[in-house]
Structure 1
Amino acid sequence: MIQDKLKGTGVALVTPFTSNLAVDYDGLRQLLDFTLEGGVEYLVVNGTTGESVTTTAAEKAEILAFVKKHVNGRVPLVYGLGGNNTQHILATIQSTDLEGIAAVLSVSPYYNKPPQQGIYQHYVQIADACPVPVILYNVPGRTGSNISGETTIRLATHHNIVGIKEASGNLEQCMYIAKHKPADFLLISGDDLLTLPMMAFGAVGVISVLANAFPEKFSNMVRLGLESKFAEASKLIFDFVDINSMMYEEGNPVGVKALLERFGVCSPAVRLPLVEASAGLKDRLYRQL
């Protein structure tokens, strides 16, 4: 079952860029090796952290093909494919090579702030059309609207919707989902620091930003959580408390790319309207390390 493959730590991969802001495939190769050697369970390509809003359709296809070839089946791949124009997403599904993809991660419609029935119908159409399983992605801080717990449970009955990445930060809503969801529906943390609390009541892991830079330590922490060894796992998550907020201070993935530069994995370059981490942020990040 696909649900068994998507437990543990998934990395929301950054997209490395060169100094002239072309996709840096050498950097991407190094990042893939870095995360895989760290022992993560799966990889997420073309998500928010991958700067999907500023990569072109051609670049997305090239990045996906490159990752598929380099990973070569070693871990499952999840592909980010969402937006606020339902018909455009349906067309993109038809034109995207999803062979070898374990699931699609589809962010809730942003900016147009649809009602719950609109969100429900949006996902039903995507799930009906998609040849691979769909994971909902709820991140109200970015989208301007929330997938309610009730809507999530309605969608969880669809045969092709297998889970949700929950980044609402609302633990009561997450608990509602955990209580009412089908047994095989995946509750996945979308907030690194809330991963362990969510795992305590039923989450099966995380799609993580920090795991780009700390794949071994973060995946070890999640595995301890899956074994209900929360005291041991807490010792590891506490190490990330002070650095986590810096990841998003100047926009995501600005902070984590600054760390990856420090570790020699890839450059800190991001595309406008984001800008590279300021000297002050880098200094505080490096001192925190």
Structure 2
Amino acid sequence: MSLDTKVEDHHKLQFGENFKLATAYEGSKLRPFVTEQPCSGEGAVAADLIGDITYIRRSGRRRSNIENVPDRERRWLVYRDPIETGQYLDKVDKFRQIDDPTSQLIRRHNLAIGKGIDDTILGLDDDGAVDFGGILGSATEGKRPGATVELPSQYRTVHGSAGLTISKLRAARKRLGLSENDLSRVAPTMAITTNQHDDLLGIVETASANLNMLEQPHIVEGKVTRLMGFNFVEMNRLPIAGGIRQCPVWLKDMIVLGVWQDIKTNMWNDTHAANTPYAHADAVMDCVRVEDLGVHVCECQES
């Protein structure tokens, strides 16, 4: 492309609008299932947690005031390095793709940002391993940001040398219910991979054996989106080790996504690279569990 090609304001506007349009179609898969909170500064309070209080029965004619003080904890969102992507538009065909929201250039960069947001929500690092924050990682807790808390083992169903089963879904739902979560008000969401989705199809197929299978929507569409009150989100970025996949279940109001800066795009001519046009997108976010009792992890064996 000509070295004197200038990035004009209308190019920046068009790139931003097309990136936003692409995000609406295939951005972050998990973002619709968490609670968002605007943030500023180095740290932001996600929640002040007040422990359970048990009543005290007054005895006799005692007139003194009682002290029934609950435990208190604070969960934090912490400012993190940006999630970003970008490239030089050093050819005419690349430059023209910014005008098309369905172009592969727009789509691929949009998916990159979406994956970064999903990893932040899950609590994974760039390589897909459990890190800190999010649903699976350690939560930042204390009067000030500093101490971290791992997800307790009681909020986990071990794999038992099996994939995703009805018994594991029942165990997750039971644990969430016993932890005083109102499941009639908020439906649990579960992230699964294609392997666990295939397990779900097997469950539905078995349950439909005595019915006309061709009339069952799960069989006809080959897609299970709801079962036993769970919403399912299929993605292939869930952590795995030794053939054991971690599939988290959570309630929307128990996971907070802190947004310092939502997805932002820009374009400019880089004077240090022969004035070549450059396109860039980034976002600044963090995520944390509000309370551990709003999360459960089902371990699933994969062959």
Question: Shorter-chain TM-score: what band?
Answer: under 0.3
Q: Which has the larger radius of gyration?
A: 2
Q: TM-score, normalised by structure 2?
A: 0.25
Q: TM-score, normalised by structure 1?
A: 0.26
